[in-house]
Structure 1
Amino acid sequence: MTRPPKYSFRQATPADLLLLADWRKAAHVARWWGEGESYSQEDLAEPRVTMMIVSLDDRPFAYMQDYTVHGWDDHHFAGLPHGSRGIDQFIGPSDMIGKGHGPAFIAQRVHSLFEAGAPVVATDPHPDNASAIRAYEKAGFAISGQPQDTAWGRIVPMLAHRLEAMRQSTP
């Protein structure tokens, strides 16, 4: 039996800013994340957001962030239970897309957030981003409402619940 890959997550640093800028320019990333400004040192210091570089076999290939959904008064997930986290991510190099890495590293990170006590993990892909929605579903998320416009753009809300994940992992 083959074991699933184990991904490593490390805090993004100022040394990663050029890599992140390059990844944000890739057409498959810019389509959903926009072609606007890249990340800055101030972004890396934002206390509400944990910004990470995801690697496989020491090869950095993705960006992932998780954040407190209660950090902004007008956040569309602010009604979730205390301790809930939101996530966003993208895969940078195009040769890493379509190989199952997205659902796998998302599920691994969500599991660690649940282990740290998060009762719910939320995400909010664009409603037209069918591949992201499928990846989140494979990682244990379910659509939890209708598409809506938010301060951060058009989204479809998706949630993964700690208790549900624990039930599914119990033999």
Structure 2
Amino acid sequence: MMTWRHVTSGDFPLLARWLAAPHVARWWHHETSLEAVERDFGPSARREEPNEDLLAFLDGSPLGLLQRSFLHDDPEYLNELTPIIAVPSRAMTIDYLIGDAADVGRGIGTRLIRSALGRLWADHRDAECVIVAVHVDNIGSWRALEKAGLTRVAHGELDPDNPIDDRRHHVYRVDRPTD
């Protein structure tokens, strides 16, 4: 069973370890010192900013991280995305990681995304859709999005998370379920 809770400052050592793992570092390209994790995740943990960081647990054990936010809360990214795809006013985005490499490639990422979407729809009843851009070379991530029910709706150039990557991205979307 997958459960969720908001990240707290007590989770920062775990996040630092996950962010340093090669399979995560490749795509997240994040500083991994405790100071950097505090700087970047502290405001969300203290609920001082609108984006949300949540930990996913599988059968009670920490599994991964989910970031979610309304796209309008990041005007710079929204301006980069809108030439590629029409973005509804209440569109959200997610980013995610599986912390331990042993859990990668086993379908757990797809389960995490499906569970994350269910939680998002329940927590944000005003969210119209979820739009996710993923680098073209991050095949595992975009396949997990597809298996979780998102549809590739665009392709375009966006700033990559990792500066070693070019700007090619696929853009995926899923609308709020109507049932």
Name 1:50's counterpart in structure 2. Answer: 52
Name 1:3's counterpart in structure 2. Answer: none
- CA contact 2:93–2:131 (8 Å) conserved in 1: yes
SS of residue matched to 1:150: coil
| Aligned residue identity for 2:137 | D
Structure 1: segments with no counterpart, 5+ residues: 1-5
Name 1:74's counterpart in structure 2. Answer: 76
TM-score (norm 2): 0.80
Structure 2: segments with no counterpart, 5+ residues: none
- Give the distance between the partners of 2:135 and 2:146, measured in 1 at CA: 14
Matches for 1:1-150 after TM superposition, within 5 Å = 6-37=1-32, 38-40=36-38, 41-45=42-46, 46-76=48-78, 77=81, 79-115=86-122, 116-150=125-159
Name 2:172's counterpart in structure 1. Answer: 158
Cα-to-partner distance string for 1:85-122 (whole Å, 9 max, x where unaligned): 11000001111111211111211221232342311111
- Give the distance between the partners of 1:149 and 1:82, measured in 2 at CA: 20
TM-score (norm 1): 0.84
- CA contact 1:127–1:147 (8 Å) conserved in 2: no
Q: Bigger shift: 50-59 or 143-152?
A: 143-152
- Structure number with the higher helix fraction is 2
In the alignment of these two chains, the number of paired residues is 160
Q: Percent identity?
A: 27
Q: RMSD of the alignment, in Å? A: 2.0
Q: Bigger shift: 74-83 or 112-121?
A: 74-83
Aligned in 2, Cα 1:151/1:14: closer, same or farther, shift over 3 Å? same
